[in-house]
Chains A and B, each alone.
Chain A
Amino acid sequence: MSWTFVIVLAATAYAFKVLGLVVIGDRRLPPVLDRCLALIPAALIAAIVVKDTFSVGQHLQIDARAAGVGAAVIAAWRRAPLIVVIIIGAAATAGVRALA
């Protein structure tokens, strides 16, 4: 990882925060843009879960991570706190790996 990458990402992240809170402020956006932007977290987070659970480079693969993330899904569905979900996910993955 390069420092340029870290600096450019930091500047971009701050620019988005300032754009929303300070530059645009409470001026209104077109409703269609509002509706689409609100869906960014759902679309991207779901994609990241798929990638981090099932991919190894450019291959799809089912391994110990799928068991861990499956356990995390059950924990999240039972409304366990964030940190409990993380620990269950990691522990189940480590457990399956140790048994395999």
Chain B
Amino acid sequence: MISVWRDERMRQVLSACVTLGLAVGVFGISFGVSAVSAGATVAQASAMSLFVFTGASQFSAVSVIGSGGSAFAAFGGAAILAARNGVYGLAMAPHLTGRLGSRLAAAHITIDESTAMAAAQDDEAHRRMAFWVTGLSVLLFWNIGTLVGALLGKAIDPKVYGLDAAFPAAFVALLFPLLRERRSARAALIGAVTCAVLIPFTPIGVPILCATVGILVGVPAPTPEGVAA
């Protein structure tokens, strides 16, 4: 371990990973507040953060239930969002080749942050380190944040502090980097328009499920740059 701390680059990676975990922990507070105001108990909010452990799905589920949607609609949207962790797993699989037990543990922390941090490293040792440290620090701080938020949520009205807008604001921040890629931008546009059009006509939660139609942008094979069709 001493060599880890002598390695300047490794120290930078570790500190970036832990900082990200802390930031997500603050975000966890807003999840805790929102979950409780949507009708979850403190124990349920904490159980979600510990065992579901994928923020976008948790937020989506709580948001659909909070606005009066059925459990079925809430589950559908949350499950589709959770599916992307499977895609991250595919991306991480070549780099996490240990024993079955350690891969099953790694699976639980295969989320946006750990995958993104790992992808940003340029060699295997840093990549694995970034994945584990980010995943575990997000797991720790996300759960502390959720518990604090859930306990606070009983005491405050989230609307007074604009916490109902903290949801979509966070999603805006997650969405922006994706929009730089043209296909993702088109998928986002189709998803957003589909959702807006369906809101008045379909049960709560269903517009989110239908927005999945945006991924069909990916069906045609990409044309090489400069060879416009």
Contact = CB atoms under 8 A, between A and B. Distances in A.
Interface string B153-181: 00000011111111111111111101100
Interface string B183-218: 111011111101110011111100110011111111
B94 to A, nearest CB: 5
Interface residues on A, range: 35 or more
Interface string A11-30: 01110111111101110010
B44 interface: yes
A19 B89 contact: yes
Contacts of A5: 61, 71, 74-75
Contacts, number: 321
Interface in A60-84: 60, 64-65, 68-69, 72-73, 75-77, 80-83
Query: Helix, strand, loop or mixed for chain B's interface?
Result: helix
Interface residues of B, number: 107
In the A-B complex, the 10 residue pairs with the smallest Cβ-Cβ separation, listed nearest first, are A20-B89, A89-B169, A43-B214, A21-B89, A93-B162, A47-B211, A20-B86, A94-B162, A43-B191, A35-B218
Interface of A: 1-3, 5-10, 12-14, 16-22, 24-26, 29, 31-32, 35-60, 64-65, 68-69, 72-73, 75-77, 80-83, 85-86, 88-95, 97
